[in-house]
Structure 1
Amino acid sequence: MDVFSFLSDLNFSTGQPELKNIFFSPNFNIVRIILPKGLEISPHPEPNAIFFLVIEGSGIFTIGNDTFEMNKHDSLFVKAGEIRGIKCLENLVLLGARDLDPML
């Protein structure tokens, strides 16, 4: 068993999303996602369902036609195939638990 410090080695300076795989199984995987302040990921469909938990920071999440401001300790579930996007109001650290891509 490996111990992982979720808030260690954070690097927001690249200006890009950074994903670190924490756990991978045949049915789902857990990732740490770091997103720098000001980054926008345009709404787009994804083939997999995902649960997001905000560990640090805040952002505006678009799910389908709805938008939600999410802050530290907020969470949401996005269905497979649903449109999703994020606008980072602050540096964001997310835990993502997602189904594997059904096309794999």
Structure 2
Amino acid sequence: MDVFSYLSDTNFSTGKPVMKKIISSPNFNIVRVCLPKGLEIDPHTEPNATFFLVIEGSGIFTRGTETFELHRNDSLFIEAGGIRGIKCLENLVLLGARDPDPKI
């Protein structure tokens, strides 16, 4: 995909995260994620390092024992194996870039 509008065809009606794959390569993956206001993703670990960029909305992000309130144009990086969680204060549109799943 060469051109993509991050705010086109957003969908918050499912009540859960809606992901749209932007780029998938052997070295990294990029997705757009739409999260509805009020949704909470409890803190948990993931095997991938992930960079989040807020495109629209706001939320409280957990990284380890810290919390950060992020708004449009804010970003946060979480190391592989790190604890992460999100509480959506508004409808939230994120761009997520992560490394590929580690080989087991």
TM > 0.5: yes
Give the aligned partner of residue 42 of structure 1. 42
Amino acid at match of 1:84: R
1:8-27 to 2 correspondences below 5 Å:
8-27=8-27
Aligned-residue sequence identity (percent) comes to 75
Is 2:91 the counterpart of 1:91? yes
Compute the RMSD of aligned alpha carbons: 1.0
CA distance in 2, matches of 1:20, 1:52: 14
TM-score (normalizing by structure 2): 0.96
Number of aligned positions between the proteins: 104
List gaps (5 residues or longer) in structure 2: none
TM-score (normalizing by structure 1): 0.96
List gaps (5 residues or longer) in structure 1: none
CA distance in 1, matches of 2:23, 2:67: 29
Amino acid at match of 2:62: T
Q: CA deviation at 1:3?
A: 1.8
**4+ residue runs over 6 A deviation:** none
